[in-house]
Chains A and B, each alone.
Chain A
C-alpha cells in the first residue's frame, strides 16, 4: 500500500477489477465480455484500456461496443437481474461469439444481484454464458485478470483425459496492464516453437477459440508472474492436472538462454536442438547488439537506473539493465497494490534471485517522485559531490514529471503508457532485448 495515508492511493496505476477483466476479455478470441454495471463503467474503461497501454484500441467487441446491462437507479433499488437477463437475450440474437462472460461492477455487487442464477438460465443458449464476479472493492485490474482466467479455464472449459506432451499454455502476462503483452507473447511463442513445442498464448492475433478449449490438453503452464494468478495456476493444476512453472518473463539474451535451459527441466525438449537454437539466436542477437557498441561506448551511455513498473516487469527489467546494458540499477519501484502475503512472497523472490537495486514498494506517484529526488539528490553547491546521476527512469508515462524535476531521462514500459504507440513491439526474448536496447538508447540521441 501507499505510504500516503492508510489505504489511500495517489494516482493508482491500475483500474478496477472489471477493468482488468474487460481488458482480458477484449483480447481473447471470439469471447465477448458483458458488463453488469452502470453504463459508465465500461464506457469509462474504454479509455483506460484502449488508450493507456500504448493505444491498444477497443478490439473486437470491447471499448464502447461492450454490451452492458446499463443499470440505473431503479435497478440499484429493485435489483438489476431483469435488465441483465434481457441484455443477454438480446446479445444472443445480435452478437457473433463463442462465449459470453458477464463481469460485474461495484453497484451490482453491493446490492447483491444473483448473476450466477441469471447466467444458468442460458444453459441451452446458442452462445454459452458464464459469470465472473469482479467488484472493484475486492481487487484491482490484476485481480480481474485472475478472476476471468479462473472463470473460463478452471470452471468453464471441459477437462481432457489426453495430454499433448508438446503443448504448453502461457499465462501471467496481463493484457494491457503489461502494455507490451502481445509482442512479449509472440516472441515467447516463437522461441518455444523453435524448440519443437506447441504454444497457446490466447491473446495474440494468431489464436482462435480452439486454443482456449485445448488449454486442458497442455502438459505445462508457464506462468510469467510471481504474484498474479498463482492461485489460478493451483486451481488449473487441480482441475486439469497440468503442472505449472512460475518464472519471470525473460528479457534479452542472458535471461532468455537461461529461461530456455530451465524450461528443459519442466518439459521434454531435444537438448541438441535447444542448444542449437540458443546458439543461433545468440549469434544473431549479438550481431545486432554490437552495432550499437560504437555509439554506446563512445557516448558513454551508461546510467544510474531506477525502474518503476508492475511486479511482472520489475525483476527481468532490472536484471537486463544491469547484466546486458551495464547500468547501475539503484531503485526498483514496484507499483502494484499487493496484500501483505503477496508482498512478502515478491520480496522473498526478489532477494533470492539477487536482483540488483533496492526494492521499494510504492503505489503513489508523488511519493515515487519524492523518493527519487531524495535518492538521487542533486549537487546543492558542494565542491565535490557524488551525485547518483545521470539517471535513467524506466517506468510509466507518469514518471515524465519526476524525470523533468530531477533532470533524468525516462522511457515508459509500464502501465500507463500514453506517450508512445505500441503495435506488435515486445521486450521479451531475444527480439525484445534488441527492441528495448534500441528504444532506451534512442532517448538520449533523440534530440540530435
Chain B
C-alpha cells in the first residue's frame, strides 16, 4: 500500500498540513483529551478572536531548511520584504557550518522585488531573469525558488518556469511553494521543502560520477557487489532538523556507530553529492514525527526503504529509539546492552544535578513533539514536576509522541498555542520555577521574571545520553542565579490591561 497515497507527489503544489492531517494551533485541555480529539477529528475549526503575529510563516521555515544546504542560491519570488530574515539566518547557518567543519559562506539570495507593475502583469519574466542571473553569477549546485504570497495570489505559474528553466541552467532548479497565507502551520514548510526535493532534485547516484558500474567480466564483480550491498544494508539516513545542532548529530551518530551502523546525516548541511545517496540506505530515521514523514514515506514508496520515527530525548525515549533501530538490524540485544551501559554512566553523571532540581515545577513549552517527549526527561530522569505542556502547533502526526504522556500524566494540562498574551497569563497564574521555551521564544516569561531556559537551542545538546546530561546541567545552572530576570522584570511594561491577568488565559479561544 502506498504510504503517502502518492497523489501529492504528482501535484505541482504540495498540500498544507491542514489539508493532509488533523491539526490545530488553538487547544487547551488535558493530554488524554487532546489525543481523543485528534483521533476523532474534532480539532479542525478551532480559532481565536485575538491573534498576535508571533509565529513566522512556512516561507521562513522553508528558508531555514534550504539555506544550510551547501552551494545553493535562494530566490525569493515576491515583493522586496520576503526573505529579509536571511540576514539573521546567515549567521546561524554559518555557525552550523563551522561546527560541522564546513566553510562558512554568506547565503547567496536574491529577491525578485515584485512591484506594482508585476502584481498587475505577473512576475514570471522577472523570475526567469533571476534564475538565469543566479545560475550565471554564483554557479550553484541548487537553486531554490521560494514562491511567496504575492505570486501565489496573482497566479504566477512557477512550476512551469522551473520546468522550462531547468533546461537552460546548469544548477539543479526547484521551487518551494510556501505562501504564508495558505497554511497557519509553519510545519507545512517541511512538506513544501521535501516536495521541492522530490519533484526536481536528483535523489539517486549517477553512473561514472558517483560510482563506476561493475564489469561483469571482472572475476571480483560478485564480491564487490556483495560488499556494497552489505555496506548499504547497515546504512542509516538520519534526517536533520534545523533545530538539531552538530552536538546532537555527533551524539546520535556515536551511538549508532557503536552498533556498527553507517550514518548519513541529511539533507541540511549536506550537498548535492550527499543528497544523491539518500536512496542508498537500509533505513531512514526521522527524529520528529511532525517533521519528515512526507519525505520518508516518499522514499518508502519509491525506493522501498523503510523508515523509523522517534525522538531520542530523555532516557526512556532514547532507549526505545536505540533498541527499535537495533532490532531493525537484528541487533536488539546489542542495543539493549549499549543502553544499559550508557544509562549507568549518565545516571552517575547527573546525580549531583538531580539534587538541585528535585521537586522544581517546570512549565514545558515549545514544539509539540519535543514538549510531549521532554516531559519524561523532566519528570522521570530529573525528578521535577510538570506544570503544563505547551505545544506551538499540533497535527495528528504527533499522536505517537503524546501516547506516553497520556499514559504517565493523563491529567497534566496540555495547551496548543503560540500566542504570547496567553503564555504571559499562564506563566503569571501558575508561577513555575522554570519555564522551558522554544528557541528564540524566551522573551515573555523572562520579562515576567521567570527562570527561562530554551527547550532547545540550535547548536545545543539535547538528544541521546549527552543530551540528558547537558539538559540537567543547563537547568541546574539556570537556577544558580536568577537576578537578571528578577531585576529586569521589575521594569518591564507589558501591553496588556491589568484585567487580562484575572481572566482565563483562553478567553479568546473559540470552537
Contact = CB atoms under 8 A, between A and B. Distances in A.
Nearest to A4: B133
Contact of A72 (B88, B114, B184): B184
Contacts, number: 223
B86 interface: yes
B53 A110 contact: no
A39 B180 contact: yes
B87 A137 contact: no
Contacts of B114: 137
Given A90-B49, A137-B116, A398-B87, A8 B110 contact: yes
Given A8-B111, A44-B57, A19 B51 contact: no
Interface stretch (B275-283, B342-350, B491-499): B491-499
Given A9-B110, A32-B495, A63 B184 contact: no
**Number of chain A interface residues as a range:** 35 or more
Contacts of B112: 7-8
Contact of A60 (B53, B110, B150, B493): B493
Interface stretch (A93-101, A162-170, A269-277, A318-326): A93-101
A10 B49 CA distance: 39
Interface stretch (A47-55, A189-197, A259-267): A47-55
Interface in B376-422: 420-421
B81 A11 contact: no
Given A64-B53, A65-B54, A111-B153, A8 B91 contact: no
B393 to A, nearest CB: 11
Nearest to A63: B443
B50 A5 contact: no
Contact of A40 (B50, B59, B154): B59
A105 B153 CA distance: 13
Contact of A14 (B80, B149, B150, B180): B80
A28 interface: no
Interface string B439-474: 011011000000000000000000000000000000
B122 to A, nearest CB: 13
B347 to A, nearest CB: 38
A101 B373 CA distance: 41
Interface in B150-167: 150, 153-154
A94 B500 contact: yes
A65 B129 contact: no
A67 interface: yes
Contacts of A208: none
B4 interface: no
Nearest to B148: A106
A390 interface: no
A6 B495 contact: no
B78 interface: yes
Nearest to A397: B87
B137 interface: yes
Contacts of A71: 181
B126 interface: yes
Contact of A70 (B51, B81, B441, B444): B51
B130 interface: yes
Nearest to A61: B495
B443 A47 contact: no
Given A16-B80, A48-B85, A107 B150 contact: yes
Given A52-B88, A95-B497, A43 B150 contact: no
A65 B420 contact: yes
Contact of A39 (B57, B87, B88, B496): B57
B169 to A, nearest CB: 14
B48 to A, nearest CB: 8
A105 B58 CA distance: 16
Contact of A110 (B115, B119, B184): B119
Nearest to A89: B49
Nearest to A1: B113
Contacts of B444: 64-65
Given A73-B181, A86-B49, A10 B108 contact: yes
B29 to A, nearest CB: 22
B129 A6 contact: yes
B182 interface: yes
Nearest to A416: B87
B500 A140 contact: no
B167 to A, nearest CB: 19
**Number of chain B interface residues as a range:** 35 or more
Interface string B495-508: 11100100000001
Nearest to A91: B50
A278 interface: no
Contacts of A12: 80, 84, 111, 113
A69 interface: yes
B108 to A, nearest CB: 7
B85 A44 contact: yes
B80 A67 contact: no
Contacts of B116: 137-138
A42 interface: yes
Given A4-B133, A63-B443, A76-B153, A69 B54 contact: no
B52 A66 contact: yes
A106 B80 CA distance: 11
Nearest to B87: A416
B60 interface: yes
A5 B133 contact: yes
Contacts of A38: 57, 149, 180-181
Given A10-B109, A94-B496, A48 B87 contact: yes
B149 A11 contact: no
Contact of A16 (B51, B79, B496, B500): B79
Nearest to A18: B81
Interface string A191-221: 0000000000000000000000000000000
B56 A44 contact: yes
A104 interface: no
A94 B85 contact: no
Given A44-B85, A110-B150, A337 B55 contact: no
B83 to A, nearest CB: 8
Given A12-B111, A95-B495, A17 B81 contact: yes
B118 interface: yes
Given A93-B497, A107-B149, A365-B106, 18 more contacts: A4-B110, A5-B130, A7-B112, A7-B115, A7-B126, A12-B113, A38-B181, A43-B54, A43-B55, A43-B60, A44-B59, A48-B85, A52-B88, A66-B52, A68-B51, A107-B150, A137-B116, A137-B119
24 contacts: A4-B133, A15-B81, A16-B80, A35-B53, A38-B149, A39-B53, A39-B184, A40-B56, A40-B57, A61-B495, A63-B443, A64-B52, A64-B54, A64-B441, A65-B495, A67-B51, A67-B53, A86-B50, A90-B49, A90-B508, A93-B497, A95-B496, A137-B116, A137-B150
Q: Which 8 A-B pairs have the closest CB atoms?
A: A40-B57, A16-B81, A42-B53, A68-B53, A90-B50, A136-B79, A61-B495, A40-B180
Interface of B: 49-60, 78-82, 84-88, 91, 105-106, 108-116, 118-119, 126, 129-130, 133, 137, 149-150, 153-154, 180-184, 186, 420-421, 440-441, 443-444, 493, 495-497, 500, 508
